[in-house]
Structure 1
Amino acid sequence: MSFRLQGDGVRLDFDGRRWLVFSWSRRDGVAGGVGGRLYVEPACCLSVAGRLSDHDGSLRLTFRFRPSGVSAGDVVAELVVGADQAEPAWQFTQWFAHTYRVEDVSASWWDDDAEPSAGERERSRDWLGAPVSPATRDLFRSVMARLTVADS
């Protein structure tokens, strides 16, 4: 099964065999332009989380990978798709997790108000990829908004 998701400045392509490819751009937010690409083998995926936005119905997918032969240092890739792609994106995520035996598919993250479970916190000792509560996300967004306004 090959699949493509176009997100906000990021595109995810799955060739159905060997690679998940995340492409992003720094110009005009259009994925695939000048920017970069991350090629990851599906078997390296540790977890996939999905959060549905109450505001516009968009879906934020967060993939966490550990490259082969590496004992620490996960890679996290995030993709936000619009409301019109949310359901097919989540169906792909569930299919992908089942096919590649991804042990942690955080279905609880589908609900934006859900707190991370104790098991999710325990498995995510890497602070960069660790799940956070909605209150923490709101605080982070508020701080980043203030910093952005201060830079203007």
Structure 2
Amino acid sequence: MTPRLEWPGFRLDYDEGVLGLRWSYVADLEVKAERCIEASLRSRSADASSQLVFRFRSAESHTADLIVVRADVPTAQVQSAEQFIALLRREHGVSDRLTDEDEATELERVPAGAAGWVLAPTGPASEELFSAVMHRIENESENDAG
């Protein structure tokens, strides 16, 4: 039996070492589970809903390419999501949340023409959001240092 999580608009399968993440009518992503460097379940709100977070490294382990995927988990599916993550940890040694050092790695923008892009090109609203987020991060870093 193939382990599967499913709720309206989303499905996550694990079959023969491949994770399949599918958002109905939006996107499909298949990634070898061996590329998964983090699988965690993070609490989102007081209603006990959560968010699945996966981080995948690129095929070349010496590169900084990283794919981060987040999927909201309904309250009724939280326990099943925990079991799914436990399976990934057992089968592939996938970590829970990465250390602060890993999360503090400098953010780098992947050039639009690079193979690391899943979707391209970005629209003006995305460009504006990216600039605003990077500006906020820079300001918070300066304020923390001062």
Structure 2 CA distance for aligned equivalents of residues 12 and 39 of structure 1: 10
Q: Determine which structure has more spread, i.e. the larger CA radius of gyration.
A: 2
Unaligned runs of 5+ in 1: 25-30, 107-118, 129-139, 141-152
Alpha-carbon spacing, 1:7–1:62, altered in 2? closer, same or farther (3 Å): farther
Give the equivalent residue in structure 2 for 1:10. 10
* Counterpart-to-counterpart distance in 2, 1:4 and 1:126: 34
Q: 1:40 Cα deviation (Å)? A: 0.1
Query: 1:3 is matched by which residue type in structure 2?
Result: P
In 2, are the aligned partners of 1:7 and 1:80 still within 8 Å (CA)?
no
Sequence identity of aligned pairs in percent? 28
Q: TM-score, normalised by structure 1?
A: 0.61
Matches within 5 A, 1:2-151: 2-7=2-7, 9-15=9-15, 17-24=16-23, 31=24, 34-70=25-61, 71-102=63-94, 104-106=95-97, 120-124=99-103, 125=105, 127=107
SS at match of 1:14: strand
Query: 1:58 Cα deviation (Å)?
Result: 1.3
* Structure 2 alignment gaps of length 5 or more: 109-132, 134-146
Figure out how many residues of one structure are paired with residues of the other and give that number: 107
Q: TM-score, normalised by structure 2?
A: 0.63
Structure scoring higher RCO (CA < 8 A, sep ≥ 6) equals 1
| Kept after mapping to 1: 8 A contact 2:42/2:51 | yes
